[in-house]
Structure 1
């Protein structure tokens, strides 16, 4: 009976020793457990009473294949799965399939969102001593142009319908969030410092708090009612606000700013018509009225103007082809 070699693969994004029941059964019943290098995972397994032996790369294949007939040997793989070793084993067994039976066993899996830990770790390296000089010099103000640019590139990607492009641009936008959070963490003497965990924790708490129909016993019958609940809870959270205009990002482009202000005023049941004392204000009033007309029709004025602008650009290109 051929020996059995179990290739045990584990996630580096979970605490060492947090393994499935099948993995622990294989480890405890194995004749021997080997690995290519000491690791936190190997140390955790040793603490459980299972011996783990480190084998040099040049002898690992022969040791695994020389296991006594019918015995089980476990190879604790590195985070990359030890591709060189598996290639050597596969090459030998392709020539002599009776040497051993190989089984791949996942002892743990990356949790959903596990790769976000890699983003945080990579940013830590970039901002730490010995990392990237440019990254180390940035502050919240210097990064703002990139945040705005990446946001618009995400919008472009959505409109393009290209999911691979959207995937890339969302990554660039995520970088901005992690970058700002890492900078906020840098000064240990700043009483207002925070970390990416604080950002994430605040967000989770807000989402749960503002979705009582999902996480509690509140009931909603429509998306509109869900939005109304969100706004009502938000108002309770921020009682210090004296106006429906408080909290609106006034630095955003004028068109979405106008739409947001109108939406806030409408929800508050307030109307206003500033006096147009000069030509600029008069023209602005006309454009403001167009934004109101778009909202009444259920049209996003920013997206409508953008759609027409893109169509205009394409029409100019076509005309240039016919006149050149």
Structure 2
């Protein structure tokens, strides 16, 4: 009777990582590594190396000269670069030598390498187990954006990016915010996502340019602010409605910025006129100055319109038109409407109708310059009714 016992089958455990967070492993993945006789990393600069050092875990890294030492047998692995072939061979040899190897995938490990490694392990009678990371945390794609921005601002990066300053980028931030607002007004989810990306790029660009702060400081600052100003969520304050939330927010903000004593301190001077009017009115409203309802606000609009019509000269008329526009903003707010978005929508509708009218004239061979006022009114009514 044969009393010999077959040697256990060599084992290779492939541990998946998140490309953006290759130094982070969930508990189940770390436990799988600790069950192996040896942990292997793709190279000495693998992000997990320092963590394993602190945990005093035994590990090895694939030698950088492995390609020169394993060229012969490496040719058995098809479809890979010579270096990847040699790396795969070396990992399998270590598994067969020690019994079980836990290989942690690194940022440079391609799908072709890992799949071929698994297939070759089967041919070499090495048992393969794959441990997946699981659910990746939200926000990891932002790390890709930061990495791209770092690359653009590197010494050998983009010449245009290298010339930029916070001041030179400021107009782009304003432009991107307006384009985002336009996409929101159009109700286009794809456009909103794209414009949000452009806005986010402005944030990372400024953060990478600065020597006083980085993207982590920016994120930490706004995170701390949100937690502070939402005590009804993160503390024991009670807020049952949106009005109470806003009131609490303003009280906390006032405590954080005691230097702002004037009613309009903190209102950016560079806001578009309509948005600036709405912001100033909102601040005045906190102190009790506001029209009680939309009807009262509409009466003020009518009064301002009369004053426009009664103005005796251009200077006075310009002032009265400004008052009229300001009163219209008040009426919009009293009606619960964002005046900036309302006007943006009106501009969009005007553009659409006018472009459609001009296209129709071109199709008919009509010169727009030859239309009378009545002709334009008729055409305009038709374009509006066609919507």
TM category (shorter chain) comes to: 0.7 to 0.9
The number of residues matched between the two structures is 314
Q: Which one of 289, 292, 305 corresponds to residue 343 of structure 2?
A: 305
Deviations 1:148-195 (A, max 9, x none): 11111212232343333322221211121222233331xxxxxxx333
Quick check: 1:4–1:70 contact (8 Å CA) kept in 2?
no
- Aligned residue number for residue 232 of structure 2: 213
Q: CA deviation at 1:109?
A: 6.8
How do residues 1-324 of structure 1 correspond to structure 2 at under 5 angstroms? 3-11=10-18, 13-14=20-21, 16=23, 18-40=24-46, 41-42=48-49, 44-45=51-52, 48-54=56-62, 56=66, 57-62=84-89, 67-68=95-96, 71-89=99-117, 92=120, 99-106=125-132, 110-185=136-211, 193-270=212-289, 278-324=316-362
Structure 2 residue aligned with 1:189: none
**C-alpha distance in 1, partners of 2:245/2:261?**
24
Deviates more, 1:31-40 or 1:309-318: 31-40
In 2, are the aligned partners of 1:9 and 1:81 still within 8 Å (CA)? no
Moved more, 207-216 or 52-61: 52-61
How far off is 1:107 after superposition? 5.5
Q: Which residue is 1:190 aligned to? A: none
Decide whether aligned partners of structure 1 residues 139 and 23 sit closer, same or farther in structure 2, where only a CA change above 3 A counts. Answer: same
TM-superposed CA distance for 1:279, in Å, is 1.8
Q: Could you tell me how far 1:70 is from its partner in structure 2?
A: 12
CA distance in structure 1 between the aligned counterparts of 2:206 and 2:143, rounded to whole angstroms: 16
Contact 1:2 1:70 in 2 (8 A): no
SS in 1 for 2:265: coil
Larger Rg: 2
1:63-116 alpha-carbon deviations (Å, 9 max, x no partner)? 5556559953322211254322223245557xx679444322146875432333
CA contact (8 A) 1:184 1:195 kept: yes
RMSD: 3.3
SS at match of 2:102: strand
Where does structure 1 lack aligned partners over 5 or more consecutive residues? 186-192
Give secondary structure in 2 for the equivalent of 1:7.
Answer: strand
1:219: Cα distance to partner?
Answer: 0.5
Return 49-58 or 174-183, whichever deviates more.
Answer: 49-58
Q: Distance in 2 between matches of 1:181 and 1:34?
A: 36
Task: Give 3-state SS (helix, strand or coil) of 1:102's partner.
Answer: strand
Q: What TM-score do the two structures reach when normalised by structure 2?
A: 0.70
TM-score normalised to structure 1 length: 0.83
Q: In structure 2, do the counterparts of structure 1 residues 216 and 118 end up closer, same or farther at CA, with 3 Å as the change threshold?
A: same
The 1-side partners of 2:37 and 2:331 are apart by: 77
Q: Which runs of 4+ in 1 moved over 6 A?
A: 271-277
CA separation of 1:246/1:46 partners in 2, compared to 1, >3 Å: closer, same or farther? closer
In the alignment, is the contact (CA less than 8 A) between 2:333 and 2:339 conserved in 1? yes
Kept in 2, the 8 Å contact 1:123–1:178? The answer is: yes
Flag the 1:29–1:152 CA change in 2: closer, same or farther, 3 A: same
Shift of 1:46: 5.6
3-state secondary structure, aligned to 2:129: strand
Unpaired stretches in structure 2, ≥5 consecutive residues? 1-7, 67-83, 292-299, 363-387
Cα distance in 1, alignment partners of residues 11 and 160 from structure 2: 52
SS at match of 1:75: strand
Q: Once the two structures are superposed, what CA deviation does each residue of 1:102-156 show, in whole Å capped at 9, x if it has no partner?
A: 3221468754323333433433333343332222221222112211111112122
Change (3 A) 1:99 1:166: farther
Distance 1:61 1:130, change over 3 A: closer
Contact 2:32 2:131 in 1 (8 A): no
